[in-house]
Amino acid sequence: MKCPFCSHSETQVVETRISEDGDFIRRRRQCGSCEKRFTTYERPEVNFPVVVKKDGRRIDYDASKLRGSFALALRKRPVSTEQVGAAIDRIEEKLLNLGLREVPSARIGELVMRELKKIDKVAYVRFASVYRSFEDIDEFKTLVDEVRR
C-alpha cells in the first residue's frame, strides 16, 4: 500500500479491526519512510449480474434503483429502514446465488414483489399495480383478493 502523504511504497499494518456488522476490515497503517499513520478499508468485491431490460438493453445492477422502488411503494407506510435494508440484502443475495452473468429485470421485479408482500400488503399492491401495468379495475380487484386470502 502506497503512503498517501509521501508516496513511499512500504507501509506496515499497525492495527486491524473488523467492523461491527462484519462487512469490512479497517486497518491502521504506518509509513516506513515518513512514519505518518493512515487508515484503509478492505471490502469484498462483488460482481452482480447485468440486468437485461424488456427492450433488450443491458445495464449494470444499481442498488439505488432497487431502493428507489422500495421507497416509492412504501411511501407513508409504517415500515422501518432496517426492514427495507434486510429485504434488499435478501434480493441481492438471491441475485448473487443465481450465479448468472445476466438476469432479466422481470426476475428482479418478481423478487421485489415477493419481499413487499412479506413486509407490507399495501406496498405490495401499489408496486404490483404499476409493475404489471393493470389495464382495468378487474385486474386490480383480482390482486387485492389474492392478498386478502
Q: What SS3 class is residue 6?
A: coil
The total domain count for the chain is: 2
Please give the span between the terminal C-alpha atoms of the chain, in angstroms, as a whole number: 58
CA distance 127 to 112: 9
Question: Looking at the structure, do residues 63 and 30 belong to the same domain, yes or no?
Answer: no
CA distance 119 to 91: 13
Residue 22 lies in a domain: yes
**Statement: residue 45 has pLDDT above 80:** no
In this prediction, residues 36-57 reach a mean pLDDT of: 91
Kind and range of the H or E element at 19?
Answer: none
Residue 1 lies in a domain: no
**Statement: residue 21 has pLDDT above 90:** no
Question: Looking at the structure, do residues 30 and 74 belong to the same domain, yes or no?
Answer: no
CA distance 131 to 128: 5
Whole domain around residue 34: which residue ranges? Answer: 11-42
Residue 36 lies in a domain: yes
Question: Looking at the structure, do residues 35 and 63 belong to the same domain, yes or no?
Answer: no
Predicted local distance difference test score (pLDDT) of residue 90: 94
Residue 113 lies in a domain: yes
Question: Looking at the structure, do residues 29 and 69 belong to the same domain, yes or no?
Answer: no
- Specify the range with the lowest mean pLDDT, choosing from 14-28, 64-78, 85-99, 119-133: 119-133
Question: Looking at the structure, do residues 23 and 55 belong to the same domain, yes or no?
Answer: no
Residue 133 lies in a domain: yes
Residue 139 lies in a domain: yes
Q: Which residues of 101-133 are buried (b: 16+ CB within 10 A; e: fewer)?
A: eebeeebbeebbbebbbebbeebbbbbbeebee
Q: The cell 434480493 sits on which residue?
A: 91
Q: How confident is the model at residue 32 (pLDDT cuts 50, 70, 90)?
A: very high
In this prediction, residues 131-142 reach a mean pLDDT of: 74
Residue 3 lies in a domain: no
Residue 54 lies in a domain: yes
Question: Looking at the structure, do residues 16 and 69 belong to the same domain, yes or no?
Answer: no
Question: Looking at the structure, do residues 107 and 132 belong to the same domain, yes or no?
Answer: yes
Question: Looking at the structure, do residues 75 and 30 belong to the same domain, yes or no?
Answer: no
pLDDT tens digits, residue range 74-83?
999 999 999 9
**Quick one: 76 exposed, middle or buried, by C-beta within 10 A (0-12, 13-18, 19+)?**
exposed
Mean model confidence pLDDT for the chain: 90
Question: Looking at the structure, do residues 38 and 56 belong to the same domain, yes or no?
Answer: no
- For 39-85, give the DSSP string: EEEE-----PPEEE-TTS-EE---HHHHHHHHHHHTTTSS--HHHHH
Question: Looking at the structure, do residues 129 and 64 belong to the same domain, yes or no?
Answer: yes
Predicted local distance difference test score (pLDDT) of residue 33: 96
